[in-house]
Amino acid sequence: MEAFETYQTPLSSRYASKEMANLFSPAKRFFTWRTLWLNLAIAEKQLGLPISDEAIEEMKGNLNLTPEQFDIAAVEEKKRRHDVMAHVHTFGQVAPAAAGIIHLGATSCYVTDNADLIFLREGLGYLIRSLGILISRLSAFAAQYRDLPTLGFTHFQPAQLTTVGKRATLWIQELLWDLRNLKRVRDDIGFRGVKGTTGTQASFLALFDGDHDKVEELDALVTKLSGFEYAYPVTSQTYSRKIDADVLAPLASLGATAHKIGTDIRLLANLKEIEEPFESTQIGSSAMAYKRNPMRSERVCSLARHLMVLHQNALMTSSVQWFERTLDDSANRRITLPEAFLTADIVLSTLQNISEGLVVYPKVIARRIAQELPFMATENVIMAIVKKGGDRQEAHEKIRVLSQEAGHQVKHLGLENDLISRIRADPYFDPIKDDLEALLDPTSFIGRAPQQVDAFLEKWVMPALEDPEVRDAIGRSGKVELSV
């Protein structure tokens, strides 16, 4: 870097998983830098540069920094106001045989940018595995409640019935798309490779006396040693910051999914139909002792909004990279990239916690259905009358009048919906009174919701969870897997 910018562990890492917090820790960053310097030296030696075996071995033996080395690097960075050169110096002190060849031919972005690409790829792997676990938890929930009728809502107004499990599949489908998007962007990430100061590889061409083939081979060899399938064919001093925008896009999209799920659960908590976990000693409000606030879902929504806006930051940074580079990306990215991954990690872990303890209240759900179902059943009642020889228009008018009367009881007097009692009391409906109970059975109003849940889990969810990486993560999470 061309400026003094000490790496700090982001505050949010305190609440992230151990793996994700470690990924963006100074220890991991500088270990990765040293590994990249080692890979460069191995490749340069293999291609004929005079680098000793002793230098390689000393580098291999000192990839992890001790506390004393962190102190040395901090002093050097304060003096030199250049983090990469401070760590070149520090590495050289513990690997003296390599001191003269560490960072040979490279620019600072050889370690900083290549390390960032490594972190992006590894971070996506953590999120993919966490997302797979979350999908498995919600899928088990959907299967359990596949046929439990519940009132549907459009515009947050009572609508046709669905099931608790079917509603959960709407969440899961979006999470499956997020899983697909995360995998796509991870698989697409390349390596900056060995490109030199402005991306022309001029310094490496000089090292190899104008041998273009060796420079190309060096780029390919370091890329392979660093675990990547390919390097970006052209770069400037940095890899294109469009890559950051591309990576943060599916994270932002995941944030939108998480916010929708968290909001739905918060609304259901208000209706007392479904609640997130609530410990026996948990306090919902300092003043109102009875409250059971959906604080986990609120936290998800809060963090998800932060996650969504970080993508805009990456877009703006990408748009203002002048020519071969400018440094106004650096401080920004050191905040934005770790924060995006740490935030996504916390969002997923919180959603997993919620999904593992969702509480469903069937009696409350049934009571709300009973309040609304009589109105929804009017079409069924009309059809039943017609089948018994009645006139459709006459039946419609009878139902319309009784519905208005029942609606008055509910809206103006605050009483229960008594439409069915009014139907039973009207002689006109005598031919179908014995059928009313069947006509009002909630299960007759949920259509193919249970079958849709079954088919969705079998044809879409199970194949996604059979991915070896995801399956292994679910297995190690210690929970029973979904079976259809």
Question: Are 109-147+164-278+291-360+456-471 and 364-440 in the same CATH fold?
Answer: no
**Locus of tokens 């796509």:** 184
pLDDT given at position 375: 81
CA–CA separation, 171 vs 55, rounded Å? 54
Q: Closest Cα partner for 141 from 178, 173, 172, 175?
A: 172
pLDDT given at position 474: 95
Backbone Cα Rg of the chain: 31
Q: Render 384-402 in DSSP notation, one character per residue.
A: HHHHTT--HHHHHHHHHHH
**SS3 (DSSP) at 157:** strand
Contact present, 256 and 300 (Cβ < 8 Å): no
CA–CA separation, 72 vs 112, rounded Å? 19
CA–CA separation, 445 vs 161, rounded Å? 6
Non-local (6+) Cβ contacts of 371 within 8 A are 410, 416, 417
Question: Which residues in 195-223 are b (16+ Cβ under 10 Å) and which e?
Answer: bbbebebebbbebbeeeeebbeebbbbbb
Token pair, residue 385, equals 């009358």
**SS3 (DSSP) at 415:** coil
Contact present, 84 and 1 (Cβ < 8 Å): yes
Fold annotation for 3-104: Fumarase C; Chain B, domain 1 (1.10.275)
Length of the chain: 484
CA–CA separation, 431 vs 421, rounded Å? 15
Token pair, residue 275, equals 């609640």
Contact present, 307 and 254 (Cβ < 8 Å): yes
CATH architecture of the domain with range 364-440: Orthogonal Bundle (1.10)
Non-local (6+) Cβ contacts of 352 within 8 A are 130, 133, 134, 137
Non-local (6+) Cβ contacts of 122 within 8 A are 23
Q: Closest Cα partner for 42 from 124, 102, 108?
A: 102
**SS3 (DSSP) at 137:** helix
A 10 A CB-CB count for 438 gives: 11
Token pair, residue 289, equals 């002792």
Token pair, residue 102, equals 């560490």
The H-assigned helical ranges of 276-429 are: 295-319, 330-355, 362-376, 378-387, 392-411, 419-425
Domain ranges of the chain: 3-104, 109-147+164-278+291-360+456-471, 364-440
Q: Closest Cα partner for 199 from 120, 315, 119, 113?
A: 113
Q: Choose the catalytic residue: 52, 212, 285, 319.
A: 285
**SS3 (DSSP) at 153:** strand
Q: Could you confirm whether 103 is annotated as catalytic? A: no
The H-assigned helical ranges of 189-324 are: 202-207, 212-225, 242-271, 295-319
Contact present, 246 and 316 (Cβ < 8 Å): no
Q: Closest Cα partner for 119 from 274, 208, 226?
A: 226
**SS3 (DSSP) at 166:** helix
**Locus of tokens 């899928």:** 139
pTM of the model: 0.89
CA–CA separation, 105 vs 195, rounded Å? 9
Q: Could you confirm whether 155 is annotated as catalytic? A: yes
pLDDT given at position 77: 92
The dihedral region occupied by 218, where left means phi > 0, alpha psi between -120 and 50, and beta the remainder, is alpha
**SS3 (DSSP) at 98:** helix
Contact present, 231 and 190 (Cβ < 8 Å): yes
pLDDT given at position 194: 97
Q: Choose the catalytic residue: 12, 108, 130, 155.
A: 155
Collect the ranges in the chain with pLDDT lower than 50: 1-7, 11, 283, 286-289
Non-local (6+) Cβ contacts of 14 within 8 A are 21
The dihedral region occupied by 106, where left means phi > 0, alpha psi between -120 and 50, and beta the remainder, is beta
Non-local (6+) Cβ contacts of 177 within 8 A are 253, 257
Non-local (6+) Cβ contacts of 370 within 8 A are 417
Non-local (6+) Cβ contacts of 12 within 8 A are 339, 342, 343, 346
pLDDT given at position 16: 73
Supply the CATH classification number for the domain 109-147+164-278+291-360+456-471.
1.20.200.10
Please give the torsion angle defined by the CA atoms of residues 341, 342, 343 and 347, in that order, rounded to the nearest 10 degrees: 100
CA–CA separation, 313 vs 318, rounded Å? 9
